[in-house]
A and B are shown apart, each in its own frame.
Chain A
C-alpha cells in the first residue's frame, strides 16, 4: 500500500474514527485503526475503520492519491499523534508492507509496527446490510432522512438519557418510525424528552421500526454530522443499527454502526400528563438566565430551585437556598399565565438542559400541582416531562 494524502483531511478522519477505538482491551486489534487504500472506478480513496466491538465507524478520505492499493492495521493513538504533530506538512505519505507502516513528511519518517489487517473484525458494508447477503441478514427497517433533521431529533433527546442505569433500556434513545412520523425518546427516570418529526414517505417500504440506540453511538453520530443537507440512511437489523452519511456527490462518506440496547423501553406515552391546568408562556433566554442564576446558590444535596408563579403579576419568582451557603432570588416576567398560582421545585439542571436544545424563542410550560410533573412544549414536535423535587 502506498498513498499520499492531504494531512488535514486525514487528521479529521483519524479523529472521527478514534471515537470507536477501544480504550483498554486485551484485543489489540480494537485499539487500532485499519487504513485501507482503494481505487474505485479509477478514483482513489482512503478508508479508515475502527471498532470497540460495540460501535464501529468507517470514514472515507477522498483527498488522496492512491499509488498502490492495500491495507494496514496500526495503533490508533500513534497514528493520531503523528498525523496531529506533522502539522507543518500539507501532505503525508503512508506506505505499508506486511505489518509495518511508514509515515513520511518532508523532514520526518515514522516507522510503525502494526498487526495483520486480516485480524481486524469485519465491518459489514452498508449496502449489504440494506440488501442482505448470505452472511448478513437483511435489515428489518430502512429509511433515509435529511441529516439536519435527524441531528435535531438526536440533540433534543440525547441529553436526557440515563448514565449507567441498572435499567439498561433507558441508557439509550428510543428511535421509532411509523409511517410518516419519526420519533426519538429519552429518559433517565426523572425527566423525559420526546422529539418528533414528519418524514417524507417516498420510501416504498413504509414498515414501522423501533429500536434503542446507545448514548455513545448517538454522540459519535453527532460528531460525524457536517452538513444539514446531507442524507442519512438508517438501517436497523435485529441487533444493530447502521447510519450512513453522505451527499449525492460523496455517498457513504461515513458509516457508523452500533449494537442496539436490549430490553423494553418504558411505556413513555403513559407518563405524559393530560390534565395540566396551568399554562405558562415564557421567553427561552430570560428563563434560562434566571434559572442559571438561581442555581448558583444550590449545592449537591439542596439541589432544587423553587418556582413561584404569580398569575396576577405575570411573574415567576425563583428562589434557592443552600442551608450553609445562602439564598438566591430571581424574578422573570412571563409572556402569559393561565390558571391558579403555584409553587413547585425543580432540579435547575433539568430546566437548563432542555432550554439549551430548544431553538424557538417562546416556550410553553404546563403544570398541575407541586408533586405532579411539569411539561415543557415547543410546537407539536417537542415535549419534555420533568418531575419535581420535594423541597423541604
Chain B
C-alpha cells in the first residue's frame, strides 16, 4: 500500500466533506489565537475552502512539516495529551487534506518580514516559497476529493454542503464571541459575526434573534458541584449557558449546543442531564433548546476518543451530570416559564420564522383566528378542542361540590419555604356570590341598558375549565386541571421522598379484576405500590385484592378499582421496574391526574384564588406533568398588536 493510499483511507475519518475541512481549518485558526476568521467557500466548499485568520502564523521552517502527517506544534509529548488545551492536537487534519485535495498555505508570523507559501497535492508537497501577505495564516483547499472520485460522488448538492459548512462555523462561533467570523459563499457574505459581543448576544445572533426573549441564562461554578466522595478531590467546573423555555422545544436535539472548553461536543451524559432538567416541562419526544459552555480542567476529560473529537470521555461523568442538571434546574425554577400567546400560537411562529421586517406582523395576524386551530404550536400537533377536554375529564370526574374540590393549604405549605403572601393581598370578595363562570362570561350588555357596576373579579373562571387573570405583563389563561395536577404532583413527589403515603386499611380486600399476567406482575410492583400506600395481593387467578389504599386518594374520591387497573395497565405497557424513579413518577402522575380538579368543575372564588397563587409557589408550574402548558400569557403588547394598535 502506498503512503498516499494509506493517508487517503485515514483521511476518510477526518475529512468527510467540505464541512470537515471548514471545521479543521477554523479550529486551527482559533488555536492560533485568531481574532478574525474569514471563510470563503466556492460551490459549497467543494471547489474551494479558504480560511484566513490573523493568528500567530507558521514559521517558515515549520511550514513544510505542516502538510506531513502527525506533525503538530500543539503537543510535544504523551503527557500533553492529558491536558490538551487546543481544539486540535492529532496532527492529522492538514495531512489528510493534502492526500485528497490541492492545499495551499500562506502564512506569516509577526517576526518575519514577509509571508511564505507552500503547496501540496496528493503525495507531492513542494518547498515553501516567498509570498506576500499580512501576519496570520490562510489555508486554501481546492477541488476536494479530486483524486478519490468515489468520495466526491458521495457529496450532496452544493446548497446542502454549503449549509453544513455554515453550520459548522456557527457552531464554533457560539463558543468564541471574542472572534469575528465572516463567511463568504461564491462572493456573497452569508454570515457576518462581529467580534466582542456578550456570549448571550453571540448565541442569539447565531440561533436567531426571535428566540431571544425565550432564553434563560444558566450559571454554575465549582461551588455548585456537590462534594464527591472523599479522595476524588474536587474537579473545578464552570458553566455558562442559555436554555429555552419549554415553549420553544423542538422535535430534534439539533438546537442543543454543548461546548467543553470551547470544543463543540455531543455527549450522552450531558444530553441526558438536559432532558432530565426539563422532565415534566416538555412533552415526550421534544427537545429543549440549549447552549452550554462548560469549562473544566483539561485533565478531567479525555478528548482523544474519536478523530472528529465530537465525543469526549469525562473522568467523572456523574459529577458532570449532576452539575449540569442542577444548574439548568435552578434556572428553570427561578424563571417564569409561561409561554406568551405569541410564541404558542396566534401566528407567533409565523413571525418568528420569517424575520423579514416589521410590516409582517400585521399582515399575518388578522388571518390567525384566536379561537381556531392556530392555537397549537405551529408544527404538526393538533390541539384538542376545549370541549373535547371537558368531555374527556367529565367521564372521570365524580360529581364534586365546589368547596370540596381542593385542599390548597396543604399543597401551598408543602411547596413554599416560609413566607406566605400577606392576607391583606386577598380581596374581601362579595359574600357567597360566586363570580365565576357563566354569569360574568355571558354578560354581553345590550347597548343602551343601564351600566352594571363592574366589580371586576380578579379571577374569571371560563366554562368551569380555564381561569383568566392578569399579571404585570398582560393576561394569563390558566388550565385549571393542568395547574392543579402539577401542584399535586410536586407535592406528592416531595412528600413521598420523605416517607410513604398514609395508608387506610380496608375491611375486606377490594377485588380488582385483572389479567393473569397482571396478577403475576404484582410481586415486582410491591415496592412501588408500598411507597404510594397500596398493599395488594392476588385474590384469585384473575383477581387482585387491595388491602390498603392511600387516605389521600379516598378523600379525593378516587376509586381503588379504577386506580389499580390504571396502574396495572401502565405497568404492563411501560414495563415498570420496581425501583425505577420513572415508574414512581408515572404513578404519581396518574394519582395527581385523578385527584386534581377537573375541567368542568366549578370552583369558588377562594379556590380559584388559591390555585392561581400556587402558580408562583409550585416548582415547574408552567407545565403539567405531561408537559402541556398550564398557562398561556397574552402580553399587553400582543393585545395591542392583535387590535391593530401598534
Contact = CB atoms under 8 A, between A and B. Distances in A.
A388 B504 CA distance: 6
B503 A389 contact: yes
Contact of B554 (A190, A266, A392): A190
Interface string A361-388: 0000000000101000000000001011
Contacts of A267: 508
A175 to B, nearest CB: 20
B498 A271 contact: no
A301 B498 contact: no
Interface string B540-560: 000000001011101111011
Contacts of A299: 407, 409-410
A189 B557 CA distance: 13
A302 B550 CA distance: 10
A164 B398 contact: yes
Residue of A187, A189, A300, A303 with highest tally of chain B CB at under 10 A: A300
A165 interface: yes
Nearest to B507: A271
A164 to B, nearest CB: 5
A301 to B, nearest CB: 3
B495 interface: yes
Nearest to B554: A190
B559 A387 contact: no
A167 to B, nearest CB: 7
Interface stretch (A67-75, A254-262, A322-330): A322-330
Contact of A390 (B495, B503, B559): B503
A389 B498 contact: no
B469 interface: no
Contacts of A270: 508
B561 interface: yes
Interface in B488-537: 492, 495, 498-508, 510, 533
Contact of B562 (A166, A347, A373): A166
Nearest to B491: A301
B507 A389 contact: no
A183 B504 CA distance: 27
Nearest to A165: B559
Nearest to B555: A300
B414 A389 contact: no
A167 B551 contact: no
A303 to B, nearest CB: 4
Interface-centre pick from B495, B507, B555, B560 (highest chain A CB count, 10 A): B507
Contacts of A189: 506-508, 510, 560
B505 A388 contact: yes
Contacts of B502: 301-304, 389-392
Nearest to B411: A300
B548 A390 contact: yes
A191 interface: yes
A61 B555 CA distance: 42
Nearest to A272: B507
Interface string B328-359: 00000000000000000000000000000000
A301 B551 contact: yes
Interface residues of A, number: 34
B512 to A, nearest CB: 9
A192 B414 CA distance: 33
A226 interface: no
Contacts of B498: 323
A180 interface: no
A304 B552 CA distance: 10
Contact of A164 (B413, B506, B557): B557
**B398, B498, B506, B556: residue with the most chain A Cβ atoms closer than 10 Å:** B506
A301 B495 contact: yes
B499 A392 contact: yes
A347 B504 contact: yes
A187 B510 CA distance: 13
B552 A192 contact: no
Interface residues of B, number: 34
A190 B553 CA distance: 13
Contacts of A371: 505
Contacts of A167: 510, 561
Contacts of A324: 410, 413-414
Given A303-B502, A304-B502, A387 B507 contact: yes
Contacts of A392: 499-500, 502
Contact of A187 (B507, B548, B557, B560): B507
Given A187-B507, A190-B504, A347 B407 contact: no
Contacts of B413: 324-325
B553 to A, nearest CB: 9
Nearest to A385: B507
A181 interface: no
A387 B410 contact: no
Question: Could you say which of B398, B407, B502, B552 has the most chain A C-beta atoms within 10 Å of its C-beta?
Answer: B502
Interface string B391-404: 00000001100000
A270 B509 CA distance: 13
Nearest to B548: A390
B551 A304 contact: yes
A301 B410 contact: yes
B397 to A, nearest CB: 11
Contact of B551 (A166, A271, A303, A323): A303
B552 A303 contact: yes
Contacts of B503: 389-390
Contacts of A312: none
A191 B555 CA distance: 14
Contacts of A187: 507
A315 B333 CA distance: 49
A271 B557 CA distance: 24
A311 B120 CA distance: 101
Nearest to A323: B498
B561 to A, nearest CB: 5
Given A323-B498, A325-B413, A392-B500, A301 B506 contact: no
Contacts of B410: 299-301, 322, 324-325
Contact of B505 (A163, A266, A325, A387): A387
Contacts of B504: 190, 303, 347, 387, 389
Contacts of A190: 504-507, 554
B405 to A, nearest CB: 12
B560 to A, nearest CB: 8
Of the candidates A303, A322, A324, A385, the one having the most CB atoms from chain B within 10 angstroms of its own CB is A324
A389 B63 CA distance: 83
A23 to B, nearest CB: 10
Q: Which residue, A166, A192, A266, has most C-beta atoms of chain B within 10 A? A: A166
A166 B563 CA distance: 11
A191 B507 contact: yes
A122 B508 CA distance: 41
A215 to B, nearest CB: 13
Contacts of A325: 409-410, 413
Given A165-B559, A302-B502, A266 B508 contact: yes
Contact of A301 (B501, B505, B508, B561): B501
Nearest to B412: A324
A16 B550 CA distance: 38
Interface in B409-435: 409-410, 413-414
Contact of B559 (A166, A301, A302, A323): A166
Interface in A145-165: 163-165
Contacts of B559: 164-166
Given A164-B399, A299-B409, A304-B551, 8 more contacts: A163-B398, A271-B508, A303-B551, A324-B413, A347-B551, A385-B507, A389-B503, A389-B505
Interface of B: 398-399, 407, 409-410, 413-414, 492, 495, 498-508, 510, 533, 548, 550-552, 554-557, 559-562
13 contacts: A163-B398, A167-B561, A187-B507, A189-B508, A189-B560, A190-B554, A301-B551, A301-B552, A303-B504, A304-B502, A324-B410, A391-B502, A392-B500
Closest 9 CB pairs of A and B: A301-B552, A324-B413, A387-B505, A299-B410, A300-B407, A303-B551, A390-B503, A392-B499, A166-B561
